[in-house]
Structure 1
Amino acid sequence: MKQPFLMMMLGVGNGFCKTTYHNNALIDAEGRLFLIDCGAMAWQSLHEIGLGFEDIEGIFITHLHYDHCGGLEEAALYGAYAAGRKMKLWLPAPLKGLIWDKYLSGTLENKAEGRAALDDYFEVHWVEEGERFSFSAGSSAGLTARWLQTRHVPSKFSCSLIMDERLFYSSDMQADEELLRTLAEQGIETFYHDSSFIYNPVHAGLEELREYPEEIRSRLYLMHYGEVPAIQSEQELRGMKLLRQHEWLAW
């Protein structure tokens, strides 16, 4: 029997939502905690459930939008000057030359103290597409994952995660029924999928997801929808379910 893992959404909102925060997730892999993305409100969300930097082993970043990586500067500075440790940071290989040079160096570079690269703040692991890595708990194999590039903002890199070959986590992506059908055929049991309940050209819309086949809809858990919507029933959601902020789910 496979080891169950736990996941909690730190937020189910979009980049502008102040009540349900940014679309980031907390993973409990055999008692060790990891983040999928670290948006500008991630640390506030963790604080509200009694957690902080010291509790997090590492972070995986899916793409360079502030609601997904805007908390990295705080993580870097806290690790360097308060905690005295480097957090693990898994990054898709296409972000090389971008995340430091174009995003973080302007605030974090401190050559006087010998801090001139991402590795001076984090234990960095670059991951190629399809390459398996592990949210590891000590000597245990931990929770294995791999990323695949998915469509979000045209011309900008973004990816989704497959974890334990059972769960697909979209982060941010446009609707792609063919991809989800293929993944379901390959054995993916659960889909955590972003959804916009109003038109948004770079996110899957609720109306698009409502037209997916029932065998896909029944596995869909929706996030990134913003404020808790008025629609709640499975009849309205056509079998899909809403993820809730700060609620653990096992899978």
Structure 2
Amino acid sequence: MAALSVRFLGSGDAFGHGGRLQACILLEWANRRVLLDCGATALVSLQRHGVEPDSIDGILISHLHGDHFGGLPYFILDAQLHSKRTRPLPLAGPRGLAARLEQALEVNFPGSSRVQRKFTTPITELAAGPARDWCGMSVRAAEGLHASGAPALALRLEAAGKSVAYTGDTQWVDGLMPLMGGADLLIAEAYFYERPIKYHLSAADVLTRREALAPGRLVFTHMGPDMLAHADEFPGETADDGLTLVL
């Protein structure tokens, strides 16, 4: 069976602390490529790591903040004007994705949402519930607690016989446990090291539940200055831009 590769093209917070690019994770298996989140710096990430935008088969969004979804207007216009895409670009994310994407296109490039393109962008809006097939993988969602003007999703993805759980941005809620538990890889936000903060996770929030979560591997991402300041003493694995894992 083909392996599942997970590459952190962007591992930073919204503000580029530590010189890191915004959330963008490349999943590769069996000649498929899917982006998990597409922050505003996504095209920079792709070019920096030699990934052709036209090679991306679909884009999955956890929530509608610019550092997780703000790259979509640029990705779509690149596909139209530079990559010359002709095959569909499936998009998936929380309820409200279609309307917010249209707004983002119009804010950034007025008139661009109404342009006739040579490719379609079918949008699947996800909600908490049973797993569903999308873009050659199984996707299951749970709703987190993160104010973004639309539901914020934590996601569990299964492909190539492996599972990846992704918290996205969220305060800890008990509904995350069934989704996150026992994944081959758990990618968890750690905006702070220990300090509790509304709408976000600290590393301590996850580490105190590590035994119950029982991940095969745990990697922290979306780290702010406080978390980065503890990097040398941190008892866990943290992502850098370019980190590649093979499950």
Matches within 5 A, 1:169-248: 169-176=166-173, 178-183=174-179, 187-197=182-192, 199=195, 200-216=197-213, 219-226=217-224, 228-232=228-232, 236-237=234-235, 240-248=236-244
CA drift of 1:53 comes to 1.6
Q: 1:139 aligns to what? A: none
Q: Equivalent pairs: percent with the same residue?
A: 20
| Aligned-partner residue type, residue 218 of structure 2 | L
- Segments of 5+ residues of structure 1 without an aligned counterpart are 137-142
Q: 1:167 aligns to what? A: 164
Is 1:75 equivalent to 2:70 in the alignment? no
CA drift of 1:150 comes to 1.6
Q: 2:34 aligns to what? A: 34
Q: Deviations over 1:84-135 (max 9, x none)?
A: 2255132236115532453323344538xxx527988642131442351233
Larger radius of gyration: 1
Equivalent residues of 1:174, 1:204 under 8 A apart: yes
Q: 1:156 aligns with which of 150, 161, 164?
A: 150
Q: Deviations over 1:22-57 (max 9, x none)?
A: 122111121222211111111111111112322222
Q: 1:119 to 1:132 in 2, by over 3 A?
A: farther
Q: Which moved more, 1:211-220 or 1:221-230?
A: 211-220
Q: 1:101 to 1:224 in 2, by over 3 A?
A: same
Equivalent residues of 1:152, 1:202 under 8 A apart: yes
Q: 1:50 aligns to what? A: 50
| Aligned-partner residue type, residue 4 of structure 2 | F
Equivalent residues of 2:12, 2:21 under 8 A apart: yes
- Aligned counterparts of 1:117 and 1:99: Cα–Cα separation in 2: 17
**What's the TM-score, normalizing by structure 2?**
0.80
- Aligned counterparts of 1:7 and 1:109: Cα–Cα separation in 2: 35
Q: 1:121 to 1:110 in 2, by over 3 A?
A: farther
Equivalent residues of 2:153, 2:167 under 8 A apart: yes
| Aligned-partner residue type, residue 89 of structure 1 | P
Q: 1:140 aligns to what? A: none
SS of alignment partner, residue 68 of structure 2: helix
- Aligned counterparts of 1:226 and 1:103: Cα–Cα separation in 2: 26
- Aligned counterparts of 1:63 and 1:120: Cα–Cα separation in 2: 27
| Aligned-partner residue type, residue 222 of structure 1 | F
Q: 1:88 aligns to what? A: 89
- Segments of 5+ residues of structure 2 without an aligned counterpart are none
